[in-house]
Amino acid sequence: MSGIKILGTGSYLPEKVLTNFDLIEMGLDTSDEWIYQRTGIKERRVAEPDKVTSDLGYEASVRALEMAGLSPKDIDLIIVATITPDTCCPSAANWLQAKLDALQAVTFDVTAACSGFVFGLNIAEQYIKTGASERVLVVASEVMSRTLNWKDRSTCILWGDGAGAAVLSMGDDSHELLSTHLHTDGSRGQDLLLPGGGSKTTPISHESVDKGLHYLNMIGANFSFKVAVRHFIESIREAARHNDIDVEDIDWFIPHQANVRMFQFIAEALKIPFEKFYLTLERYGNISSASCAISLDEAIRDNSIKPDDLICIPVFGGGLTWGSALIRW
Ligand code: COA
């Protein structure tokens, strides 16, 4: 037991819906059937051109704070998990802090790709446990649509935009964050890469743009599928082992929403009913760090999650990064 409580959650999805049929209309050589069968995705959301990551994060934060019954002034740490920050410097968390008018808080970003929300929860847990912070806002926000090559049918079909948030503090009665576990493997950084924009390719040049270095790159998507399945399974088992429970005791799995086929494999491998997976990827696609945060919020708000339910959030992403959070609601 950590003694850390989730006081509130929130999420935000841009209004603009981009269906598989819209992608075909945009000239992509694909079909709704191919995308749906291989990924489970029917549509995704795309942020308005004038909206940035901190704007989406702002909307999710306001909703999480409202559920928590707190104001931005009550927060002393803001962590934003993102791989699509508004700017390289300052952090998306800084821009968000200004929009929330929460200048008393300390703010920083976390780069852990699709695992970012659980990395944020883990950091919040440490800050609260040590007494360094009292109330922490963890936000996962992504505008993936700006990183995509819309002519690359093997990647652009997968991703979407959105944000999720959670407010954490000390507490013991319910909604408890029981544990978090994190892992990384930097030797596999090439597998899922956004190569442009860092010190390797700055200043941005015509050449780097022509080479497509500013697009999200997934080398060996098939391979990444298998590695992801393995790490999701390890992460779920690790969470259960650490909390001295059986995997079948877990009521809900709210994973990083990568691909529905992955969760079919995982359900079979772990002998758990597929219905225990709470999935939003049919409607939203893969929103990197924000996927599981948004899904958690939706599962809470539509009353799928009941008091005392055990919720496991297994995550996997570029880096490589993976891990889990276990919550007793
Ligand atoms: N529409 C139609 N055909 C497509 C297509 C699309 N959108 N994308 C790829 N294809 C084609 C390929 O060109 C290939 O054609 P070929 O056999 O003539 O060369 C064929 O479909 C099979 O491609 P492949 O890449 O082997 O398909 P796949 O079954 O592996 O599915 C993914 C591709 C991306 C859907 C799948 O690998 C996947 O979801 N991977 C997981 C990636 C992921 O989520 N990682 C974790 C991120 S956090």
Q: How confident is the model at residue 251 (pLDDT cuts 50, 70, 90)?
A: very high
User: What's the CA gap between 149 and 155, in Å, rounded?
Assistant: 8
| DSSP H or E stretch at residue 26 | none
Question: Do 161 and 46 form a contact (C-beta atoms < 8 A)?
Answer: yes
94 is catalytic: no
CATH architecture of 4-172: 3-Layer(aba) Sandwich (3.40)
Q: What pLDDT is stored for residue 176 in this prediction? A: 96
Burial (0-12, 13-18, 19+ Cβ within 10 Å), 171: middle
Question: Do 136 and 160 form a contact (C-beta atoms < 8 A)?
Answer: no
256 is catalytic: yes
Give pLDDT tens digits for 19-47.
999 999 999 999 999 999 999 999 999 99
Closest ligand 1 atom to 258 CA: 44
User: Does any ligand 1 atom lie closer than 6 A to the CB of residue 281?
Assistant: no
| pLDDT value at 192 more than 90 | no
Please identify which residue in the block is written with the tokens 């992801």: 228
| pLDDT value at 124 more than 90 | yes
- Active-site annotation holder among 256, 259, 292, 312: 256
Q: What pLDDT is stored for residue 69 in this prediction? A: 97
| pLDDT value at 129 more than 80 | yes
Low-confidence winner among 26-35, 70-79, 192-201, 293-302 (lowest mean pLDDT): 192-201
Give pLDDT tens digits for 135-151.
999 999 999 999 999 99
- Going by their DSSP bridges, the two strands 252-253 and 310-317 should be labelled as parallel
* Average pLDDT over the chain, rounded to an integer: 95
**202 or 285, which is more confident?**
285
| pLDDT value at 190 more than 90 | no
114 is catalytic: yes
User: Does any ligand 1 atom lie closer than 6 A to the CB of residue 222?
Assistant: yes
Pocket test for ligand 1, best of 37, 188, 222 (most atoms within 8 A of CB): 222
- Active-site annotation holder among 114, 156, 292, 312: 114
Classify the C-alpha dihedral 35-36-38-43 as positive or negative: positive
- To the nearest whole percent, how much of the chain has pLDDT over 90? 86
Q: What pLDDT is stored for residue 321 in this prediction? A: 96
Same fold? 4-172, 178-328: yes
| pLDDT value at 108 more than 90 | yes
| pLDDT value at 292 more than 90 | yes
Domain range summary for the chain, segments of one domain joined by +: 4-172, 178-328
Question: Do 280 and 259 form a contact (C-beta atoms < 8 A)?
Answer: no
- Going by their DSSP bridges, the two strands 161-170 and 4-12 should be labelled as antiparallel
Phi, psi at residue 100, to the nearest 5°? -80, -10
| pLDDT value at 1 more than 80 | no
Phi, psi at residue 252, to the nearest 5°? -135, 140
| pLDDT value at 220 more than 70 | no
User: What's the CA gap between 170 and 135, in Å, rounded?
Assistant: 8
User: Does any ligand 1 atom lie closer than 6 A to the CB of residue 61?
Assistant: no
Closest ligand 1 atom to 157 CA: 7
User: Does any ligand 1 atom lie closer than 6 A to the CB of residue 243?
Assistant: no
User: What's the CA gap between 163 and 191, in Å, rounded?
Assistant: 24
| Distance in Å, CA 312 to ligand 1 centroid | 28
**204 or 2, which is more confident?**
204
User: Does any ligand 1 atom lie closer than 6 A to the CB of residue 130?
Assistant: no
Q: What pLDDT is stored for residue 189 in this prediction? A: 86
| pLDDT value at 173 more than 80 | no
Q: How confident is the model at residue 179 (pLDDT cuts 50, 70, 90)?
A: very high
Please identify which residue in the block is written with the tokens 């209309």: 25
| Distance in Å, CA 221 to ligand 1 centroid | 7
Q: How confident is the model at residue 177 (pLDDT cuts 50, 70, 90)?
A: very high
Closest ligand 1 atom to 228 CA: 46
| Distance in Å, CA 232 to ligand 1 centroid | 20
CATH architecture of 178-328: 3-Layer(aba) Sandwich (3.40)
Q: How confident is the model at residue 6 (pLDDT cuts 50, 70, 90)?
A: very high
Residue nearest to atom 20 of ligand 1 (CA): 154
Q: How far is CA 245 from the centre of its chain?
A: 25
